[in-house]
């Protein structure tokens, strides 16, 4: 009899982490691999944030904190939501976790019963379905067409809702496509959700500040009457280049926040005290570098999209935000090239061209692949040349 639990058999390892690890291993073996799989800004954490962490260490802020966040960080988060999103919360409506991923995991563990459905628009971040499965819920995948910008429509949402639906996940700007929902698009979804009185919304806003071309970010709690049914998740990892600090947070109804805290009290307990002190400075300190870095990402995005669309057999939409593109490789699949799936495509691309990307099927939509352009322009230029040469060799 296996010692491994049945619940663990329902899930798989993260494909994005697997690709990143494979690229590391190949580089360690001497291969000149360019990794475009990781969703991690290549910028350093700003100095004022690092200085705040150093000061916290020197001041002895190295003990346990409240399970779900220090009062100082919760206050900073409350002020952030008011300042940037015009949303009013009290500190007992805020939870802080070890990264946004833990906040989402805690939310599902605290709320899902066996058979509860969670609507997940595809393409989706790879961890959503597996976290739902681990919590005993049922992912209900709704495929979103390229012609709709890879975004969920009100019509598809209405069709997907059933008596068992407990959550809808909204991620804007999106991982893996970079698609951002306009205010009008969110309001159209909200009209459907208002009528479905039992559906809660999990709004994943982690890429809120990484946006381009005058795209105006709105979160669903601020443009609808659904605030009481919405858990709004965010964090410092992407906007502030703090992926390794592991701080995520969320705002929502007091009962859900309390339940999330209960889960956290019996798992990790509090996030790092030093990381929390750094996050206070991230939220309260200067925000000037955010636009500067977004402009750098925009330059990379424009280059990558143009380069991909100049490759025969590849087509790519221009995203509104985040630092990903989600190009189609459908025209390069088939008997002629002996590449039946997007997984075949990315595996052969890594083998022949030493470029690591992630297959679209990992995100719930076949025939595509994801590129993270959160790396230097120098590396992106080499990578685009390699991808073009590889694709040309298939024709």
Mean pLDDT of the chain: 96
- Give the domain extent around 302: 6-44+289-394
Going 31 to 366 to 317 to 15, the CA torsion angle's sign is: negative
Measure the CA–CA gap between 306 and 303, rounded to whole angstroms.
5
Residues 298 and 278 in one domain: no
Residue 349 maps to a domain: yes
CA 59 from chain center: how many Å? Answer: 34
- Domain end residue (candidates: 284, 317, 348): 284
Q: Which of 66, 175, 96 is nearest to 128 (CA)?
A: 175
Q: For residue 40, give the CATH number of its domain.
A: 3.90.1150.10
The angle, 0 to 180 degrees and rounded to 10, between the axes of the packed helices 377-394 and 342-353 is 110
Token pair 């990992």 is found at: 362
CA 207 → CA 211, 225, 320, 380, distances in Å? 8, 23, 11, 21
34 plus 115 within the same structural domain: no
Please calculate the CA angle 310-313-318 and round it to the nearest 5 degrees. 55
Asked if residue 52 belongs to a domain, the reply is no
Same domain, 323 and 278: no
| Tens digit of each residue's pLDDT (9 = 90 or more) over 158-209 | 999 999 999 999 999 999 999 999 999 999 999 999 999 899 999 999 999 9
Residue % of the chain over a pLDDT of 90: 89
Do 162 and 302 belong to one domain? Answer: no
Asked if the structure places residue 53 within a domain, the reply is no
- Mean pLDDT of the 214-228 span: 97
User: Which tens digit of pLDDT belongs to each residue from 311-351?
Assistant: 999 999 999 999 999 999 999 998 777 899 999 999 999 98
State the DSSP code for 227.
G
Q: Angle CA(243)–CA(245)–CA(246) in degrees, nearest 5?
A: 75
222-237 residue pLDDT tens: 999 999 999 999 999 9
| Statement to judge: residues 127 and 246 lie in one domain | yes
383 and 242 assigned to the same domain: no
Q: Final residue of a domain: which of 235, 253, 284? A: 284
Give the per-residue pLDDT at 129: 97
**Consecutive H or E run containing 54:** helix 47-58
Is 278 inside a domain boundary?
yes
- Both 258 and 232 in one domain: the answer is yes
Same structural domain, 278 and 309? no
Residues 164 and 78 in one domain: yes
Instruction: Clarify whether residues 118 and 237 are in a common domain.
Output: yes
Same domain? 107 vs 130? yes
Residue 242 lies in a domain: yes
Q: Is 67 in the same domain as 189?
A: yes
* Residue 148's CATH number: 3.40.640.10
Final residue belonging to a domain, choices 247, 268, 284? 284
User: What confidence score (pLDDT) does residue 38 get?
Assistant: 85
Cα 189 from Cα 156, distance rounded (Å): 10
Q: For residue 156, name the pLDDT band (cuts at 50, 70, 90).
A: very high
């Amino acid at each position: 009899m296996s010692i491994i639990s049945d619940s663990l058999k329902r899930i798989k390892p993260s494909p994005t982490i697997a690709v990143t690890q494979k690229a590391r291993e190949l580089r360690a073996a001497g291969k000149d691999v360019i990794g475009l799989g990781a969703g991690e800004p290549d910028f350093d954490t700003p100095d004022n944030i690092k200085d705040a962490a150093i000061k916290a260490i020197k001041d002895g802020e190295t003990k346990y904190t409240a399970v779900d966040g220090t009062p100082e960080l919760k206050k900073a988060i409350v002020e952030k939501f008011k300042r940037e999103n015009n949303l009013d919360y009290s500190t007992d409506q805020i939870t802080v976790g070890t990264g946004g991923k833990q906040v989402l995991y805690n939310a599902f563990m605290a709320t899902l019963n066996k058979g509860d459905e969670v609507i997940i628009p595809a393409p989706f971040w790879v961890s959503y379905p597996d976290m739902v499965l681990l919590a005993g819920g049922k992912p209900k995948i709704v495929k979103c067409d390229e012609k709709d910008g890879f975004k969920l429509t009100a019509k598809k949402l209405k069709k997907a809702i059933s008596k068992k639906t407990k959550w809808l996940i909204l991620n804007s700007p999106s991982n893996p496509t970079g698609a951002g929902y306009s205010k009008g698009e969110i309001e159209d979804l909200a009209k459907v959700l208002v009528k479905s009185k039992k559906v809660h919304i999990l709004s994943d806003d982690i890429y809120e500040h990484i946006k381009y071309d005058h795209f105006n970010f709105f979160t669903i709690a601020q443009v609808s009457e659904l605030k009481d049914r919405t858990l709004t998740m965010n964090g410092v990892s992407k906007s502030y280049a703090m992926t390794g600090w592991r701080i995520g947070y969320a705002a929502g109804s007091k009962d859900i926040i309390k339940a999330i805290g209960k889960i956290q009290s019996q798992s990790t307990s509090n996030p790092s005290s030093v990381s929390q002190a750094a996050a206070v400075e991230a939220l309260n300190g200067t925000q000037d570098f955010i636009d500067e870095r977004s402009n750098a990402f925009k330059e990379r995005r424009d280059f990558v999209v143009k380069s991909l669309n100049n490759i025969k057999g590849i087509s790519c939409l221009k995203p509104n935000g985040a630092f990903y593109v989600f190009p189609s490789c459908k025209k390069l699949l088939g008997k002629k090239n002996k590449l039946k799936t997007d997984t075949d495509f990315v595996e052969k691309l890594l083998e022949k061209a030493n470029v690591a990307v992630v297959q679209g099927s990992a995100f719930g939509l076949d025939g595509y692949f994801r590129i993270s352009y959160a790396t230097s322009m120098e590396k992106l230029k080499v990578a685009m040349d390699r991808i073009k040469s590889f694709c040309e060799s298939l024709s």
